Structure 1
Amino acid sequence: MATTAIHSSVAPHPVNVHVEPQLDHRDRLSVGIRIVLALPHLILVGGPLFLGWSWSSREAAGGYEWSTGGGALGAVAVVIAIIAWFAILFTGTYPEGLRQLAEYYLRWRVRAVAYLLLLRDEYPPFGEGRYPVTCEIAHVDGPRDRLAVGFRVILAIPHLVALWVLGIAVGVTTVVAWFAILLTGRFPAQLYTFAVGVLQWTTRVEAWLLLLHDGSPPFALH
């Protein structure tokens, strides 16, 4: 069946995810044991929201711990974002080497998450490499918006709440798609489009929190 690339957004934005669709003729064995196959990527760059988000009670502290499951490189990316936050506030620029490393992590993560969401059957490369899922990140030209950078985490709260809900929803639809593929060899088209949209929105918010751009992500899947 002839297919064309799904572009999960038509509005101009500095961060865009593109997925070459694979609805039919799926590798049922790969899909069946996908979580096992993806473990190395999960450890390094984390997985989808429904796998990464966790609440754990901390009785001694009387509170809760919230983790986004970004993997080992995700922890490095958080440190990079903190350093970049200070650098942008004081100098107005994002250190080039740190920016490249943050982009490297995000592109790798997008490919791994797409694989875990069953959007493709090809095994994603470790690091950079050709893959039918791509993440394009436009470089920021000119001075940065220091005020928006300074309050970035606060500004992102509405997106994080929305993505928490969508993360649960895409977890459910991925399980449904898993059964559908095993039984019919096909990923339901509407569920596929939904998963791509959630991946797009999530990636834009993660790039925004990593301070890779100042454009507020739209509240939209497509």
Structure 2
Amino acid sequence: MWQAPPAPVSREWLPVLDMPAPGPQNRWTVLLRVLLLIPQFVVVWVLSVVAFFVTVIGWFGALVLGRLPGFVADYLSAYLPYDTRVTAYLMLTVDRYPPFRFQAPEYPVQVGLRPGELNRLAVLFRIVLVIPASIVQGLVNAGWWLVAVIIWLVVLILGRMPQALYEATTAILRYRMRYLAYLVMLTSAYPKRLFGEEPGSEPEPVSATRPLVLSGAGRGLLVLFLILGVVSWATSSVTASVNSGDNNDNDDYGNPTQRVIAPLVPGPGAVR
């Protein structure tokens, strides 16, 4: 019996992050990591300001051309790896100081990008489409930074980052990179695979993070970071709501009529 041939499977290409396996780290550089990065923070801030305006230009260009203009793609393709190298060093995944230049083929942290054709409708609504990914990366990053001092102490005492912690941290770092790449239109692929790839998904390992296969402990830490991020967000929201409520109550007692008209007036008073 004749059967139709299977339809070709198109595999979506996602931006890649190549990093070496966790190794020994100099405890002095771990101890002074934030201080050492102060010059880099200044550089990244300046580059990010430029990247913002370049991205705005690129958004208009992508709507017309269906792709980023050449100079926009070139700048953002250089900026994003620079930012990722600095972040990787800050998050204690590597011990080698990031260089002050765009092109750094010898550095152990490498980002692979393929700017290309873009869906104009997806470009038009990019800010809306990216909201779910923004929430995910915001929560998992908040959870990691909530226990950053503990992570710093662990690496300082051991002189290296434990494997499970390294897996979870690089997963966060990779998702953040993919999120930014999608936000600035360097890729049409939506950020995904926060929890890594399944074993055997790649024919041959290219680096310690490609494919990124998380152990049970690594996945557990990633879930913990997500939970901590949610708790941190909920706590800050409740605190802000209570403070706002106290201020509004004081204002209401000063002006009794405000309690009556508040639900009829658009604005913060209407949600009380």
- TM-score w.r.t. the length of structure 2 is 0.64
**Counterpart position of 2:121:** 147
Asked if 1:133 corresponds to 2:109, the answer is: yes
**Counterpart position of 1:43:** 42
After superposition, give the CA deviation of every residue in 1:194-216 in whole Å (9 maximum; x if it has no partner): 11000100000101111111111
What SS does the corresponding residue of 1:135 show, helix, strand or coil?
A: strand
Greater CA radius of gyration, 1 or 2?
2
Asked if 1:81 corresponds to 2:80, the answer is: no
1:12 to partner: Cα distance: 5.2
The letter for the 2-side match of 1:19 is M
CA gap of 1:220–1:181, structure 2 versus 1, over 3 A, is closer
**Counterpart position of 1:164:** 138
**Counterpart position of 2:208:** none
Structure 1: how far apart are the matches of 2:89 and 2:114?
A: 23
After superposition, give the CA deviation of every residue in 1:170-209 in whole Å (9 maximum; x if it has no partner): 2135422210122222312111111100010000010111
Residues paired across the two proteins, number: 184
After superposition, give the CA deviation of every residue in 1:88-141 in whole Å (9 maximum; x if it has no partner): 11222311111101111001111100000011111111122121111010231x
**Counterpart position of 1:18:** 18
CA gap of 1:93–1:12, structure 2 versus 1, over 3 A, is closer
Which protein is richer in helix relative to its size? 2
**Counterpart position of 2:68:** 94
Where does the alignment leave 5 or more consecutive residues of structure 1 unmatched? 1-10, 46-70
**Counterpart position of 1:115:** 89
Contact 1:87 1:95 in 2 (8 A): yes
Written as runs of structure 1 = structure 2, the 5 A alignment for 1:21-36 is 21-23=21-23, 25-36=24-35
- TM-score w.r.t. the length of structure 1 is 0.78
Structure 2: how far apart are the matches of 1:125 and 1:136?
A: 18
Q: Which has the higher contact order (CA 8 A, sep 6+)?
A: 1
Structure 2: how far apart are the matches of 1:207 and 1:99?
A: 11
**Counterpart position of 1:3:** none
1:147 to partner: Cα distance: 0.3
Say what the alpha-carbon RMSD is for the aligned residues: 1.6
Which protein is richer in strand relative to its size? 1
Q: Percent same amino acid among aligned pairs?
A: 29
